[in-house]
Structure 1
Amino acid sequence: MSAQTFTISQLAKEFDLTTRAIRFYEDMGLLTPERAGMQRVYSARDRARLTLTLRAKRLGLSLTEAKEILDMYDSPRDTVAQLQKFLGVLGAHRAQLEAQLAELQANLAEVREHEKKGRATLAKAQKVARAA
């Protein structure tokens, strides 16, 4: 293997993934290794696409969305369209996360209110119990 190619085991170790996960990304069309007999040979391009796929996952993008964005970079360069698509996807995910955060904050406020009422009720019950 040259410095610019990688085995599935090397990528799995580097990215702390299973070889099964890497094969799944291949099945999704995110990676396109060459074959040397039965062995997969991943290029520097595949490695970069894997890096970007994992980054997209951390940002909350689906694998389909990640593939759409990565595939745009393989097409003839239209940086404006690529950036608009990327920003659109990120904006939609940000809005979704903000909505989830608002819902969690509302739930947290409700739990705190129930805790406060519960403590007050407990304090009254303990006071009555001590008086009896």
Structure 2
Amino acid sequence: MSSQTYSISDLARELDITTRAIRFYEEQGLLSPERRGQERIYSPRDKVSLKLILRGKRIGFSLAECRELIELYDPTGGNQKQLQTMLNKIAERREQLEQQMLDIEQMKLELDTAQERCMQALEFTIKSQQVV
């Protein structure tokens, strides 16, 4: 692994996020930069962790799930356990999304039915007023 390090502003600029977001992930225990006085020094591992957090957020993982994946990171062991866990979480997320899509379709049908009933009731009300 490279001995390159990053400042908080380097990571923020490179990953297009705010320094505040990086500090938040640090407060949550997801990143652990070295400290030189007040300055935070991030390692390549921190950068990988941050990328994993951002990717996880984009696909709907919780911070706890991101933490679990970060803890499994093992560049020397080929990351098999991390990758298998990630695949399992992706399958779970996909299942959740499929269920949400079914729920949305059902809700749309119920909205269509409610709308149709309201339109019929309104039409009936207008016709009854015209008869009087």
Q: Specify the TM-score bucket, using the shorter chain as the normaliser.
A: 0.7 to 0.9
Query: Size of the alignment, in residue pairs?
Result: 128
Partner of 2:17: 16
Partner of 2:127: 127
- Mapped partners of 1:31, 1:64: distance in 2: 13
Distance 1:88 1:51, change over 3 A: same
- Mapped partners of 2:44, 2:81: distance in 1: 25
Q: CA deviation at 1:59?
A: 0.9
SS of alignment partner, residue 6 of structure 1: coil
1:68-99 Cα distance to aligned partner (Å, 9 max, x none): 22232226414443322111111111112222
1:41 matched to 2:41? The reply is yes
TM-score, normalising length from structure 1? 0.80
Moved runs in structure 1, 4+ residues, more than 3 A?
Answer: 9-14
Q: What does 1:50-65 align with in structure 2 at a 5 Å threshold?
A: 50-65=50-65
- Mapped partners of 2:92, 2:78: distance in 1: 22
Unaligned residue ranges in structure 2 (runs of 5+): none
Q: CA deviation at 1:121?
A: 1.2
Q: What does 1:110-121 align with in structure 2 at a 5 Å threshold?
A: 110-121=110-121
Unaligned residue ranges in structure 1 (runs of 5+): none
Q: CA deviation at 1:53?
A: 0.6
Worse overlay, 102-111 or 76-85? 76-85
1:70 matched to 2:70? The reply is yes
RMSD: 2.2
Worse overlay, 117-126 or 36-45? 36-45
SS of alignment partner, residue 74 of structure 1: coil
**8 Å CA contact 2:49, 2:70 repeated in 1:** yes
